[in-house]
A and B are shown apart, each in its own frame.
Chain A
Amino acid sequence: MKWHVLRPLWVAIGLVGLILVSRQFLVPDDFGVHGRNFTYGYHRLSNIQEWKDFPVKYRGRESCVECHEENVIKLNASTHEPVECENCHGPSVNHPDDEEYLPLDTTRELCLRCHAWLEYPNSARGELVSIEDRRHKRRKECIECHNPHDPTEEVE
């Protein structure tokens, strides 16, 4: 007499075998414990290199100075020296190869990020030269009067 329990048991064993065999093909060779231990280091090793190959977008003023030397020199001599070029001009990515023009932000809102007056005692914000947005030349863009590369210089 056949024992009725055996048939599903064979199916279950077959499934486990199938999973173990397909695992050999599906799991990459470099998947395993790398680094500290199983808890923190169980991963696919080549993913580290994939993250290292992520494209850089902000290249810094060292890359700007190659072509725009006079602007960088002027900026570096001004009180805006700590402000990165790409904060206003946008990330250079592959400029000028891919994009000839960068998405320059000339809006009042950009300047107000630092220069909108907030009455906060003991905050570094209060030490910056600031305006009250509601009171100061409400309809004008800042760059109509102030040169961002040298804020002390007036634009005629």
Chain B
Amino acid sequence: MTCSRRDFLKNTVSGSVASVLPLSAFSFLSQAEASAALAETKVRWAFLVDTMKCVGCGLCVKACKNENEIPYDAAVTRTWVERYVVTKDGETHIDSPMGGRDGFIDDKIRDEEIDPEDIAKAFFVPKLCNQCENPACVQVCPVGATYQTNDGVVLIDRDWCIGCGYCIMACPYGVRFFHPEAKVADKCNFCYHRISQGMQPACVECCSFGARRIANLKDPDDPVANIIRTERVAVLKDEYGTKPHVFYLGLDASVR
């Protein structure tokens, strides 16, 4: 192979120009530009449940169903309340009739009478969508119908959902269900229509005992976020690595 000096210089110059040109497409962003490009917001919604305060009235479930147009008598709900009764023999009795929609009036659990003398502890645990940082339900959606907004809430596009049910099976917390009227997957979205205009979620507003609270983790002055930051809070099924954003105060080890 031969190469004249003229060709060598020509190729060297044109080659280096060609390799530098694409670099000019890159530009250095200021901090503000970078965060705008990443669509960062000043909001990261989270939820705080105080299981010590819940009395199991189920008014949150009722409010949620009315607010979010979930068929009232269908056995599906966006939020629900579970009753745990741990007896002295170490057994855990759990029930949630109709998701706790009508409260817990009877001391029978699944038609089983439990002698009050045998009860070691009993409590109520409200549950709802955890708005995970790594939502398994979003990963499995084959059509891009469910997604995470920039403020951390996972939403479902009802026009785009094909109702395949992958997300319902993927959620480790069982919060997703098939909406019997809309014929799509459905779940709690922290009442996105309410929190995005400064209101509280319906369940939070209707809770008379302060057992449910909403927080903005990115707000350093948010009192509820400060509780999550400074108190000892737990999350459900941490081992799944989904990074749930519903935090629990006073969560018992028997809660599944």
Mark A residues whose CB is within 8 Å of B.
Answer: 31, 34-36, 39-44, 47-48, 51-58, 60, 82-84, 86-87, 90-91, 109, 112-114, 116, 118-125, 128, 133
Known contacts A91-B66, A118-B122: A82-B193 contact under CB 8 Å:
no
Q: A48, A91, A119: which contacts B155 (Cβ < 8 A)?
A: A48
Once the chains are docked, how many angstroms separate the CA of A55 from the CA of B69? 10
B116 CB–A CB distance under 8 Å: yes
Q: Which of B18-26, B146-154, B225-233 contacts the other chain?
A: B146-154
Are the CB atoms of B157 and A44 closer together than 8 Å? yes
Once the chains are docked, how many angstroms separate the CA of A60 from the CA of B59? 14
Counting contact residues on chain B (CB < 8 A from A), the size range is: 35 or more
Are the CB atoms of B104 and A118 closer together than 8 Å? yes
Would you call the interface of chain B mostly helix, strand, loop, or mixed? loop
Q: A54, A60, A125: which contacts B56 (Cβ < 8 A)?
A: A125
Known contacts A60-B205, A123-B122: A113-B193 contact under CB 8 Å:
no
B144 CB–A CB distance under 8 Å: yes
Mark B residues whose CB is within 8 Å of A.
Answer: 39, 52-59, 62-63, 66-68, 85, 102-107, 116, 119-124, 134-135, 138-139, 144-150, 155, 157, 159-160, 189, 192-194, 196-197, 199, 202, 205-206, 208-210
B28 to A: closest C-beta gap in Å: 22
A17 to B: closest C-beta gap in Å: 22
A-B contact pairs, 12 of them (CB 8 A): A42-B144, A47-B155, A52-B197, A58-B63, A109-B102, A109-B103, A113-B57, A113-B102, A119-B116, A120-B122, A124-B53, A125-B56
Once the chains are docked, how many angstroms separate the CA of A34 from the CA of B38? 9
